[in-house]
Structures are given as structure tokens and as C-alpha cells.
Chain A
Amino acid sequence: MSTFKKTTLALALAGATLATTAQANEVEVLHWWTSGGEARAANVLKELMEAEGYGWQDFAVAGGGGETAMTVLKSRAMSGNPPSAAQIKGPEIQEWGELGLLGDLNDVAEAEGWDELLPDVVADIMRHDGQYVAVPVNVHRVNWLWANPEVLDAAGVEMPTTLDELFEAGEAIREAGFVPLAHGGQAWQDATVFESVLLGGQGSEFYQQALVELDPEALGGEQMIDALEDFKRTRELMDEGMPGRDWNVATAMVIQGVAGFQLMGDWAKGEFTAAGLTAGEDYLCAAAPGTEDAFTFNIDSLAMFRVSDDEEREAQQALARLVLEPTFQEAFNLAKGSIPARPDLDMSEFDSCAQQSLADFQRTAEEGGLVPSMAHGMAVRADIQGAIFDVVTNYFNDADMPAEEAAERMVSAAEAASF
């Protein structure tokens, strides 16, 4: 009897050790790629990992902007049990890094030559304290103008390349009986239009000063007032049913030919593709008016949490390496509408909008003009971003607030938000 007991105990122990080793070379990845195309794209990564003999534990949390996922992640981190990788982006990577929770990826980065592969602006975001802690998955361009060519023909206008042309074209489209600019009145959408208009009217240098460096002189100065006034003018191009409208409903207005234009990031392309439309024929894409030489980026990335187990660490490094490999980059970005994070990829599979996007990305990375998107959490910390959102959306919706007052509030928003 006692020998039997010993054997079972030994077996159980062996089983337990086996189980832990099985767990050790596994990665648990928290992400919110839960829509059809995204889930398929995430699956590519899972298969690549499994092909190399690593386990993949999926930790998908539904909910568009990842707010739910971030709440779940915070509770896991607080209980001392974070997943090995999580979809964290922009300055938030720095916040997690400051909490000392992120592990470094320097070995992979060195072996794969990330320093040469990634544009500096991108690489900087992936580093905390000079150490690589995250790996970029894709690059979204935010400053896009989408258009319905039939509406443009009916109104007799071309794709606008400057803000003035946009307002003129808008007038003609309204006279032809269409909504000039489709928009959804949510704070982040207001901010998306605002940053594109600011970039188009004032240029990327000013954008950098105001919305990235939060320079009080830029935030409260003449140029900001001009930008705010341009922004308010776009309101005249919108219909009154916009408050609370979702962005994809606004995109649908362009698809159905109710509206002429929409200013929205390249995730809008997913809607056009899903409706069976072809880029360049059934719908048009161009840089937001006045921003041909600029590129507002929104980069999704996977940050790696600090793990003690060597094998788990090895799995993490493998994950980081595979994310930047061409197979995944191509499959994922074709599904997501974005462009690859590594600019050296063969783009023949991608549509004309994505090809233009990548070309602009490379060009602006070299010539300047590549700026992080404030509206999408790439430029400033979440609290400052929130305070700017409040000013932008309040000014946009308040018919009586002068641009001067909004500019003053912009300055105090940037100051008051941090503690």
C-alpha cells in the first residue's frame, strides 16, 4: 500500500513538473484583436509560435478601443500575475516601464537588427530607458481623407489637397444635395479631425511643438487659434445628426453615397473592403488636406512583461522575433488595413492606399513630418490626452466659445492634467 502511495506521489510530482515545463515555454498574450479579420490575423501569430514548438495561451478581451482589456490587465498586474505579453501602445509603454513591470528584448533586438530595421520614431516608442520592451505590430495612418467618387462627380469637384479646397468642395457637395463631411460626434473622433486639420493648416513642426511637446506658447498662440478656427469651420460641413454616431456608421455614409468625405484613420478601409469596394475605383483615399508631407501614426505594439522563468523568457523572445517577421507582418496588416511596422517589406499584395501609406511613411521618416497621433494615444499620456479631448470636444460643440478661450484652456489642460 505504501509503495503504491509513493508511486502515485512520484507520478503526481512528475506530472506537476511536466505541467510546469509545458507552461514555461508558453506565452500568454493579452490583446483585443477580436473582430473577424483581426482574430484571423492573431491566429497567424499563434500558428507561427506553435510551429516553433511554443505554446500560445490566448487572452483576448473584447471591446474596440481596448479599455476593457486595459482594465483586465491592470487587475492582473496588481495581483502580481501579468500575462507574458500585452497589447500596450504609445506612452503607456513608458508608464508600465516606470512601474518596473516590463522585461527587456535587447537580445532579440540586437540579433534581428531592430535599430536598422525600424524608423527611429517607432523604435523610440518601443524602448523604455534605452531598453527595448515592446515590439511594433503595425502602423496605422490617421491623417486620411476618404471619399466617394460618385458624390464628387455629381458635385463636380476633385479630391482637395488644401483646407481651403476642402471647404470649397464641401460647399459644392452640399449644394448638390449631399452631406460634405461624414463625422461621428464622439470626443476621439472630434480629436481625430482636429489633429488632421491642425496638421494640414499649420504643418508638422507646429504639430510636434503643440501636441507632442505641449509647449505652452504653441498651445496658446496664434497658430493654435487659427487651427481651432479651421477646426470649427469643418463643423459646417457636417450634418446635425452626428452626435454620438459611431465612426463606422459615418464611413457607411460615404460608402452609400450619402456623404462625400470622411476624415478618419486607415481602419476605415476595413469597412470599405467589407462592403466589397476597391480602392481607387469605388472609393478614394488621400492624405488629409494639406498633409501630403506628413504622417500621423498610430502604432499597435506588444509589450513584454518581466518573467523569471528562463523558458518563458525564451518563448517571449521568440514571440517578439516572429512579430516582426515578414510572414506575420504581411498576413496581419492585410487583414487590419494598416501597413507593416518594418518598411522593407514587399508591398505587392497590398492595395493602392496601403502602398501610398508605406511610401509616405518611409519618406516622412527620412524627411521629417512623421508625427505621433494625439487622438490615438501616441503623443501624450492618457491623462493629458483626456484633458485635451475635453477642451477640443467642448469647443467644437459650443457655438459660443471663441477660439482664444479654447487655446487658453488648451494651455491649462496640458499643465493641470499631471500631478
Chain B
Amino acid sequence: MKNTSATPLGAGAKRSTPSGGLQAWLPRLVLAPSVAISLFFVYGFMLWTFVLSLTSSRMLPSYDFVGFGQYARLMANERWWVASTNLMIFGVLFVVVCLVIGALLAILLDQKIRQEGALRTIYLYPMALSFIVTGVVWKWLLNPQLGIQAMVQGWGFESFRFDWIVDPDMAIYTLVIAAVWQASGFVMALFLAGLRGIDDSIIKAAQLDGASLPRIYLRVVMPCLRPVVFSAVMILAHIAIKSFDLVVALTGGGPGYATDLPATFMYAHAFTRAQIGLGSASAMLMLGGVLAILIPYLYSELRSRKHG
């Protein structure tokens, strides 16, 4: 093995310790273009959005600075508060319900049952659909004159009502139903992988000690799954903040703007209402929301590495 590291140029492919100058620089050289591109297109554009949010831009970007005026307008905008409140309701319910359903499904599937592969596919299948498809399907299911309500009334239960999608106060919960339907299978898959990763001998030891099954799951298995829960929350929270296509397909933001979310608010104002400044301000606040989740996550990740 030792003689192969003699030629520095050929050594790259041969897993020797980095020694030559080129070898040390090669990865950086290879990565440099993509780093430069992402610096420009991701962080550069974030910066540009921030700059635009300080201007009075309407149809096209302009550089007439108005300080934080657009943010003040945003704070005074009733629809923005509806959108933000909706995001809180939707985000919290979506994450919690997905976690609970996903964990339950995973635990049930983990009981060494027959046809596990087939069941897993069925539960995971909604994840393969785009949110647009989910939205359209649930739009029909929830339509009081086509879907579930009409069907149950057709069975003879005339007084049955399930018209959340047309009720401004309840419509936001129909978003939760559709999103949970889509994403809980994915959470199940995460949990299942986590469960399979737990050393059998710990569970066996607990069983020998006479612990009941629910107790084992609660006290032994779940604590082992903390990283899985954390990743699931991260991913689900991101899906919630970015939700756009589901709203567009399921409710179109309606009735009225009762199911508006910050993402749809931003799109409507920046692109169709010639309010680029206001739209940018709302985009910056959304970025703030993402960072509020991301920073604690990165912090805890880095700290756990150190303690490692």
C-alpha cells in the first residue's frame, strides 16, 4: 500500500493521506463554483429581498428607500395576521398530529406482522403524491355537495354535516387533515427506521425485568428515538412554513382569505398585486420564522457533536 502514495496526482483515487499541495486544494477547487453560486443565488438574493423590503417597490423593483415602512404596513394589514395565525394553527396541529399518527403506525407495524411490506407501502404512498394532487382530491372529498357529507346524507343520515371547507372558521382545519394524510406515512417511515435501529437486547433486558409492552415503549424505546423525533419536527415544520401548493389546490386561500398562509400572502402581493416591497417584507418575516427553528437546531447539533 505504501508505494502507491508516491505519485501525488494519481493518489487522489487511492485513499492515501492527503500530502501534496494540489491534493489539499482539489476538493476546495471542485467545490468553489458551487459555493460561489449558492452564495450568490441563495444568500445574495436573500440580501436583495431584504433590500427590496426597505423600498417602496411596487410593480418593478425600485430603490426608493422608505425604511421599515413596509413592515409597518404589514403589521397593520389584517390579512397578514390572518395568515400568520393560520400558520400557527396549521403548523402546530400538523406537526403534532403527524408525529402522533406516525409514531402509532410505526409501533403497530413494528409488531412483526404479516404483509408488513405491503402495509408500509400503502401508508407511505401519499408521500409520493404532490400536494397539488392531495389538495384536489381532498377538495372533492370535502365539498359538501360531492364528497363525504353528500355520501353520508345519501345513506339516510339527513342531518349529517361536514362542511368545514366552506366555513371560514373551520376551513383551516381541512388543510391540517389533508396535510396530515399526506405526511404521516413519511413520519411513520422515519420512526420505523428508528425503531429498527434500536438494539434488541435492550428491549429483551426490559422484558426480562418484567416491564409491560406500553411501558417498554414509553420508557425505553421513545427516549432512544429522540433524534428521530427531532428530525421529523424539523422537516414537518419546514413543510408547514413553506405550504403553498396545498392551499392553492385545496381552498385557494378561501373562503374569503380564511385559509391564507404567509407563503400565499407573499405570492399574491409580490406577483399579482404589484406590491413587491410588501411581499419582500413578508418574505423576510417568513425567513425569520425559518431561522427561529433552524438556529436552535444547528446549535443543539453542534453542541452534541462537541460533547460527542
> Do residues A397 and B255 form an inter-chain contact, with CB atoms below 8 A?
yes
Shortest beta-carbon distance from A236 to chain B in Å: 14
> Do residues A240 and B268 form an inter-chain contact, with CB atoms below 8 A?
no
Taking CB atoms, residues of chain A closer than 8 Å to B272 are 67, 70, 382, 386
> Do residues A396 and B271 form an inter-chain contact, with CB atoms below 8 A?
no
> Do residues B60 and A77 form an inter-chain contact, with CB atoms below 8 A?
yes
Chain A, 56-94, contact with B by CB distance < 8 Å: what is the 0/1 string? Answer: 000000000001001100100110000000000000100
Residue among B66, B250, B273, B277 with the highest chain A CB neighbour number at 10 A: B273
Shortest beta-carbon distance from B232 to chain A in Å: 31
Taking CB atoms, residues of chain B closer than 8 Å to A385 are 273
Say yes or no for B35: interface residue by CB 8 A criterion. Answer: no
> Do residues B275 and A383 form an inter-chain contact, with CB atoms below 8 A?
yes
- With A381-B274, A386-B269 known as contacts, the answer to whether A243 contacts B79 (CB < 8 A) is no
Of B87-95, B110-118, B143-151, the one touching chain A: B143-151
> Do residues A243 and B271 form an inter-chain contact, with CB atoms below 8 A?
no
- With A241-B143, A244-B139 known as contacts, the answer to whether A393 contacts B257 (CB < 8 A) is yes
> Do residues A240 and B254 form an inter-chain contact, with CB atoms below 8 A?
no
Say yes or no for A10: interface residue by CB 8 A criterion. Answer: no
Say yes or no for B180: interface residue by CB 8 A criterion. Answer: no
> Do residues A386 and B144 form an inter-chain contact, with CB atoms below 8 A?
no
Chain B, 66-90, contact with A by CB distance < 8 Å: what is the 0/1 string? Answer: 1001100100111100000000000
> Do residues B258 and A419 form an inter-chain contact, with CB atoms below 8 A?
no
> Do residues A71 and B257 form an inter-chain contact, with CB atoms below 8 A?
no
- Cα A240 to Cα B166 with chains together (Å): 7
> Do residues B254 and A95 form an inter-chain contact, with CB atoms below 8 A?
no
Say yes or no for A242: interface residue by CB 8 A criterion. Answer: yes
Shortest beta-carbon distance from B258 to chain A in Å: 7
Q: Which of A78, A242, A383, A416 contacts B274 (CB 8 A)?
A: A383
Shortest beta-carbon distance from A7 to chain B in Å: 41
Taking CB atoms, residues of chain A closer than 8 Å to B66 are 419
> Do residues A241 and B273 form an inter-chain contact, with CB atoms below 8 A?
no
Q: Count of A-B contacts with CB under 8 A?
A: 98
Shortest beta-carbon distance from A82 to chain B in Å: 11
- Cα A71 to Cα B60 with chains together (Å): 10
Taking CB atoms, residues of chain A closer than 8 Å to B79 are 390
Taking CB atoms, residues of chain A closer than 8 Å to B254 are 185-187, 243-244, 393, 397
| Interface of B: prevailing SS | loop
Say yes or no for A398: interface residue by CB 8 A criterion. Answer: yes
> Do residues A74 and B60 form an inter-chain contact, with CB atoms below 8 A?
yes
- Cα A70 to Cα B274 with chains together (Å): 10
Say yes or no for B168: interface residue by CB 8 A criterion. Answer: yes
Taking CB atoms, residues of chain A closer than 8 Å to B251 are 243-244
Say yes or no for A21: interface residue by CB 8 A criterion. Answer: no
**Range for the number of chain B residues in contact with chain A:** 35 or more
> Do residues B163 and A240 form an inter-chain contact, with CB atoms below 8 A?
yes
Q: Which of A78, A241, A394, A409 contacts B257 (CB 8 A)?
A: A394
> Do residues A95 and B274 form an inter-chain contact, with CB atoms below 8 A?
yes
> Do residues B59 and A99 form an inter-chain contact, with CB atoms below 8 A?
yes
> Do residues B275 and A386 form an inter-chain contact, with CB atoms below 8 A?
yes
361-419 of chain A: CB within 8 A of chain B: 381-383, 385-386, 390, 393-399, 409, 416, 419
Taking CB atoms, residues of chain A closer than 8 Å to B146 are 241
Say yes or no for A239: interface residue by CB 8 A criterion. Answer: yes
234-283 of chain A: CB within 8 A of chain B: 239-244
> Do residues B257 and A244 form an inter-chain contact, with CB atoms below 8 A?
no
> Do residues A393 and B271 form an inter-chain contact, with CB atoms below 8 A?
no
- Cα A218 to Cα B306 with chains together (Å): 67
Shortest beta-carbon distance from A333 to chain B in Å: 27
- With A240-B144, A242-B166, A243-B165 known as contacts, the answer to whether A419 contacts B256 (CB < 8 A) is no
Smallest CB-CB separation from A386: which chain B residue? B273
> Do residues A78 and B144 form an inter-chain contact, with CB atoms below 8 A?
no
Taking CB atoms, residues of chain A closer than 8 Å to B165 are 243-244
Residue among A71, A186, A240, A243 with the highest chain B CB neighbour number at 10 A: A243
Smallest CB-CB separation from A66: which chain B residue? B272
> Do residues A95 and B252 form an inter-chain contact, with CB atoms below 8 A?
no
Chain A, 81-116, contact with B by CB distance < 8 Å: what is the 0/1 string? Answer: 000000000001001100100000000000000000
> Do residues B252 and A244 form an inter-chain contact, with CB atoms below 8 A?
yes
- Cα A416 to Cα B66 with chains together (Å): 15
- Cα A82 to Cα B144 with chains together (Å): 47
Say yes or no for B61: interface residue by CB 8 A criterion. Answer: yes
- Cα A65 to Cα B157 with chains together (Å): 41
> Do residues B163 and A419 form an inter-chain contact, with CB atoms below 8 A?
no
Taking CB atoms, residues of chain B closer than 8 Å to A244 are 139, 165, 250-252, 254
Other than the given A74-B59, A241-B146, A399-B168, 6 more pairs (CB < 8 A) read A67-B271, A243-B255, A382-B275, A386-B273, A394-B257, A419-B73
A residues with a Cβ closer than 8 A to B are 67, 70-71, 74, 77-78, 92, 95-96, 99, 185-187, 239-244, 381-383, 385-386, 390, 393-399, 409, 416, 419
Can you identify 15 A-B contacts, CB atoms within 8 angstroms? A67-B271, A71-B271, A95-B58, A99-B60, A187-B253, A240-B144, A241-B144, A244-B251, A381-B274, A382-B59, A390-B79, A397-B168, A397-B255, A416-B76, A419-B73
